[in-house]
Amino acid sequence: MPKKPPMPRKHSMRKKRSSRARRKFKAPAPRLRPISLESLTPAQQALVEAIRQGPRGGFTNSGPFGVFLQAPVYGMLAQQLGGHLRFKTGVPPRLSEFAILCTGQYWKAQFEWHAHASIAAAQGVKDATIRDLKAGRAPKSAPRDEMAIYAFVKELYATRRVSDAVYARVQKLLGDAGTVELVGILGYYVLISMTLNVFRVPLPDGEEPPFREPAAR
């Protein structure tokens, strides 16, 4: 007897299940209430103006800056360091953004990845590399300089140390000052990742989280 043609029903059921899974996702509730920009203290207003007038060119009351407003003196110092490390180091922007993505993926920092994946692409990180990093894979098509950064970041986060061979590759690439600044970039974006994760900073409305959220505790 001829085989019966496959029924398309299973495929449609899979699609229904996957769409239901997406609808079921519920972001954890933020732990801080947003501060209204209409009722800022002088210290909070100074922080907002410093960010607007700095290299970022604007302020948004979301992401880490919304958290910094809660402690504006600390926030002022943190944003000054962040502005320098993002825009003014000797680390090429493509490699800096690559390192930021490695950090965001390691911490599964939803907002950090959301904010920087498109920036990394604009700075020249390949789409395939971004997909590999997001999935937690070594990027197969990344150039040698990105792979040197990747090995450095992975080893540092895994062992809390960096071997001589891995260090030498990055030092040859960036020099002493650039290597110091790279460690600063990693440290700052670990701080940002922890801030985003601890305070459950939400993504903009309508955005899907890039990483699976762990079960609520």
Q: What is the pLDDT of residues 163-209, one digit of tens each?
A: 999 999 999 999 999 999 999 999 999 999 999 999 999 999 999 99
* pLDDT for res 10: 46
Q: Indicate whether 106 and 187 sit together in one domain.
A: yes
Same domain, 63 and 133: no
Q: Are residues 72 and 94 in the same domain?
A: no
- Take residue 158 and report the two structure tokens written for it: 């895994």
Question: What pLDDT is recorded for position 92?
Answer: 98
Query: How many domains is the chain built from?
Result: 2
Q: State which residues form the domain around 53.
A: 42-86
Among residues 53, 48, 54, which one has the least CA distance to residue 35?
A: 48
On whether the pTM is more than 0.85, the answer is yes
> Given the structure tokens 């970022």, which residue do they identify?
56
* Tokens describing residue 153: 């970041």
Residue 200 DSSP label: T
With a cut of 50, which residues of the chain have pLDDT below it?
1, 8, 10-23
Cβ contacts of residue 174 below 8 Å, gap of 6+?
90, 91, 95, 181, 182
Question: Do residues 159 and 113 both lie within one domain?
Answer: yes
pLDDT number for residue 28 = 86
Rounded to whole angstroms, the Cα distance separating 37 from 75 reads: 15
Q: How high is the pLDDT of residue 73?
A: 98
Q: How far is CA 28 from the centre of its chain?
A: 18
Tell how far CA 20 is from the center of its chain: 27
CA distance 83 to 192: 13
Supply the pLDDT for residue 6. 52
Is residue 184 assigned to a domain? yes
The answer to whether position 16 is within a domain reads no
Q: Please tell me the distance from the alpha carbon of residue 202 to that of residue 33, in angstroms, as a whole number.
A: 11
Do 140 and 170 fall within a single domain? yes
Which residues contact residue 84 at a Cβ distance below 8 angstroms, ignoring those fewer than 6 apart? none
Tokens read off for 27: 């972001």
What does the pLDDT read at residue 26? 73
Whether residues 110 and 57 fall in one domain: no
Same domain, 105 and 79: no
What pLDDT, on the 0 to 100 scale, is given for residue 15? 47
**Per-residue model confidence (pLDDT) at position 12:** 45
